[in-house]
Amino acid sequence: MIYSKMINFSLEKKLQLILPNQNKALAQVLKDATPTQLLQLTNSKDLNSLLVGILQKSIDSPEQNATLLTLLKSNPTLKELANFTSSLKTLQTLLTKQEPPLELEKNIKNFLGELNQINPKELKTKIENSGVFLESKLLQTNTPQETKALLQNDLKALLLQTYEEISNGNTPNKQELMRALERVILQLDYYQLSSHLSNGSAFYVPYSWDALEEGVITIKQFKEKAYFCDIDLKLKEHGELKLRLGLFEQKLLNINIQTQSKLLKEKITEQLSELKKALFDVGITPGEIRFIEDTNNSNSYATTDTNLQAGFEVKV
């Protein structure tokens, strides 16, 4: 893997949204890309020029973004990484062996939570401090005090600071810790790069659920008053579960459900009346709720994907 020099956290320094020579996910994609794929991205023959041009604040070529996003999502190294919560837990376990204890261990412990303990206000705070929005938030700070406060609460800032401390120190499990930190930072860079290329926000939910192997939640807007949420989960016991939620006029909700597990389908069916009641309680009117057998029909709410405006992706 290619790992670039860590960010200098001088309080006077404000970072660009994504630094071309800092994003390790981009470096990994370019490392694994074939010459033909690189030519699809740019006519530049110089890799350094490619890095500088590829993540400018405003890229003139949406086609280039789409090509790079496809490479990012299909990159074998990035696809093989564990989900982000698992990587954080692995890092946390390693940090517990550290003497004296590092502040990062306490922060990760406070940051992670169980799925059944989600609090909307707390979740919002965690997402804001998830590390995905660090650089863009730094651009908005106006004083050293604001910057310092931000760096003390943001997960990516804490990860990078800890990496520097460990790399300059001499601990028994130094190399193992650095590899775990690099893995987590690489995953954060993935979310930042994905957000930039899709003109949306890609992030993760910092909660764990024992029944879940991995999952992705994608939310996009369709025209003015319609929103779609695709939830793709891989469950340990029941395999894949796919849901598409369509919210219309801010209150009417349609749901498509797809699963190959008959047992899971029965369990969901048994809970539908409770689901409908819960939706009514929060002012949402449940419309059509149906099971979809054919994968090709899972996008039946929208005419074409090109009609969907930029949105955001969440990994769980």
CA atoms of 273 and 241, how far apart (whole Å): 19
| Per-residue pLDDT tens over the stretch 58-105 | 445 667 777 788 888 888 888 888 788 889 999 999 998 888 888 899
Contacts of 208 (CB under 8 A, 6+ apart): 85, 89, 112, 113, 114, 115
Which position has the higher pLDDT, 264 or 308? 264
pLDDT higher than 80, residue 159 = yes
| Per-residue pLDDT tens over the stretch 23-33 | 788 778 877 87
Which position has the higher pLDDT, 254 or 79? 254
Query: pLDDT category, 10, cuts 50, 70, 90?
Result: very low
For range 223-240, the mean pLDDT: 86
Question: Taking the model in full, what pTM does it have?
Answer: 0.72
pLDDT higher than 50, residue 2 = no
For range 198-214, the mean pLDDT: 79
Query: pLDDT category, 271, cuts 50, 70, 90?
Result: very high
Domain(s) labelled CATH 3.30.750 in the chain stretch across: 211-315
| Per-residue pLDDT tens over the stretch 121-140 | 888 888 889 988 888 788 78
How high is the pLDDT of residue 45? Answer: 46
112-116, 155-159, 199-203, 305-309: least confident range: 305-309
Query: pLDDT category, 203, cuts 50, 70, 90?
Result: confident
Quote the percentage of the chain above a pLDDT of 90: 24
- Contact in structure between 185 and 163 (CB atoms under 8 Å): yes
How high is the pLDDT of residue 257? Answer: 94
3-class state of residue 313 by DSSP: strand
How high is the pLDDT of residue 57? Answer: 40
CATH 3.30.750 fits 211-315, yes or no: yes
| Per-residue pLDDT tens over the stretch 289-311 | 999 875 554 444 443 344 445 45
Closest to 312 (Cα-Cα) out of 193, 199, 233, 231: 199
CA atoms within 13 A on the CB side of 214: 8
The CA-atom distances, in angstroms, between 79 and each of 66, 171, 231 are 18, 31, 18
How high is the pLDDT of residue 41? Answer: 65
